Structure 1
């Protein structure tokens, strides 16, 4: 593996893949799976379905973005779920990094859009996993239960192909509109994200 790829295996304060809790969870999820794609698939579905999407968490607590804390809390926003998957993947020996885009969620609940004053979500976070010599994009944002309750397509991942939030819901209505790509980052750029949220939202900050 080339050095420029190996660096995406390193632990960071946010992606604390070297902690006991993260390592033990990876072992329990991937034991007996020799293929990287199978490991990635198992990790993805754990984060998608076992870590609840919680849009109302306080967004300005830096420690709440640390992967081991998210694992313990069993919930988080899109960025937190993506951060946890990065750490789990790295602990499993899969190079991983976090990627940010601005999106418009046409199916965002009224309670959220009224609170924020918009259906625009700057710095939606998803993951890139290095599998079979290529970067694969995956979004473990919404658990299956949420998708079923809201008539949304669940994001399905086979361990090899991109799996991002879809543009339409099950009824053919607009769902996710991708507006601006910020690219991938070494770590979660909290100052940059807070500034974008402050600009976008009239009340509070969530994504």
Structure 2
């Protein structure tokens, strides 16, 4: 399990901001299940759904931003889990960009690749690997968009959400898998020990022109997501 507890460049959990957070929340004093739940709930709801500069930023940068999407929230979640002694790994996919419609619009949606690089964190608990994809979307945002989802391919998609049944969404940690975008997965890219390994091979922002355009427009996107979140 040592490989799943290791600090890396992206999982910089000895950074002062991350250590200060862990100490202030008292996470190291909790039992294993409560540790996972506390860290998961923090990243899910206190790190709002939004778009960072790129996929492969460090955990401390995600914490500083205060928002993230599937890939960057996975980085922060993994760093915090490893920092409190919980083994975890990253699972990569391609996902259909249609599920981002509503969150991404106009040019930024147009320039997004048809298949978007997507990742979730898997945590080792009760002798098995458990998926924590539900961390991506914060409750406040989810409550605003749940009834705006479009019926597609016998499921519901839009605004960064992709589920089989919008009336049975449960992203709370109860010791089981949580999902929020998995209904739109198109390709399984495999399991990696660290996000560093994954993003060295797969990345949404490797094209310089698209990266520039994305960074020009993403702040407007994040403002729009906050307007949605606040009703």
TM-score, normalisation: structure 2: 0.69
Partner residue, 2:109: 116
SS in 2 for 1:194: coil
How far did residue 190 of structure 1 move?
Answer: 3.2
| 1: CA distance, partners of 2:16 / 2:129 | 27
| 2: CA distance, partners of 1:111 / 1:134 | 33
Count matched residues: 187
State which of 90, 94, 104 in structure 1 corresponds to 2:86.
94
| 2: CA distance, partners of 1:81 / 1:196 | 16
- Structure 1 segments (4+ residues) deviating >4 Å: 118-121, 195-198, 203-206
Partner residue, 1:149: 144
Partner residue, 1:49: 45
Query: Residues 67 and 166 (structure 1 numbering): CA distance in 2 closer, same or farther, change over 3 Å?
Result: closer
How far did residue 97 of structure 1 move?
Answer: 1.6
Question: Is 2:99–2:184's contact at 8 Å kept on the other side of the alignment?
Answer: no
| 2: CA distance, partners of 1:54 / 1:111 | 9
TM-score, normalisation: structure 1: 0.77
How far did residue 204 of structure 1 move?
Answer: 4.9
Partner residue, 2:14: 18
How far did residue 111 of structure 1 move?
Answer: 6.0
Question: Is 1:142–1:154's contact at 8 Å kept on the other side of the alignment?
Answer: no
Question: Is 2:87–2:124's contact at 8 Å kept on the other side of the alignment?
Answer: yes
State which of 194, 198, 201 in structure 1 corresponds to 2:203.
194
SS in 2 for 1:14: coil
> Please, which runs of 5 or more residues in structure 2 have no aligned partner?
147-165, 216-231
Computed over aligned residues only, the root mean square deviation of the Cα atoms, in angstroms, reads: 2.9
Query: Residues 113 and 39 (structure 1 numbering): CA distance in 2 closer, same or farther, change over 3 Å?
Result: same
Partner residue, 1:138: 132
> Please, which runs of 5 or more residues in structure 1 have no aligned partner?
168-175
Describe the superposition over 1:78-114 as per-residue Cα deviations: whole angstroms up to 9, x where unpaired.
Answer: 2111100000000110011222111225442346153
